[in-house]
């Protein structure tokens, strides 16, 4: 099976799982479907209004299908994928100082848990680093070691 015909599924975001990881997977899905540019806030000049509207509707549908009902209620009245994306980010990826400090504390206090293997430990480390980067926190090379 070629990658262009492969079926991909994104686990529905429920508000408790890792938003950054979900967001990356949905962007990948939008790119695979050829509708990633729908996240742009404005229509490209080279596209006519009807095509832009169809692209927007397809992207809105794709994003909402990747959300559980309880999360869809937060964005149900929005019709633009860019608006939905922004609303979800503001709700589930807060860039507050408290969130940044919490993640930094997790990073600096990270210890390998008994019973966990190295791969699990590295996954937790990578998740914290990725979350910090998505919150625009600069991570020095010495902090990654």
What pTM did the predictor assign? 0.69
Question: 13 pairs with which residues across the strands?
Answer: 67
- Spell out the per-residue pLDDT of the chain, length 145, in tens: 334 456 778 889 998 877 888 998 999 999 999 999 999 989 989 999 999 999 999 999 999 999 999 999 999 999 999 999 999 988 887 666 777 787 788 788 888 878 878 888 888 888 878 878 877 788 777 666 6
Cα dist from 80 to 44, 52, 58, 59, 120, whole Å: 15, 11, 10, 8, 38
H-helix or E-strand spanning residue 70: helix 69-75
With H, G, I as helix, E, B as strand and everything else as coil, classify residue 13: strand
């Amino acid at each position: 099976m070629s990658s262009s015909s492969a079926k991909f599924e994104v686990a529905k975001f429920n508000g408790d799982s890792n938003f950054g990881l979900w967001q990356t997977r949905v962007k990948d899905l939008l790119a695979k479907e050829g509708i990633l540019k729908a996240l742009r806030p404005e229509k490209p000049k080279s596209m006519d209004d009807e095509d832009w509207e169809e692209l927007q509707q397809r992207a809105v549908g794709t994003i909402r299908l990747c959300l559980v009902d309880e999360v869809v209620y937060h964005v149900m009245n929005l019709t633009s994928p860019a608006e939905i994306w922004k609303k979800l980010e503001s709700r589930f990826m807060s860039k507050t100082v408290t969130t940044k400090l919490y993640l930094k504390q997790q990073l600096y206090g990270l210890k390998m848990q008994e019973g966990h293997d190295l791969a699990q430990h590295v996954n937790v480390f990578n998740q914290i680093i990725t979350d910090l980067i998505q919150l625009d926190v600069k991570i020095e090379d010495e902090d990654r070691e």
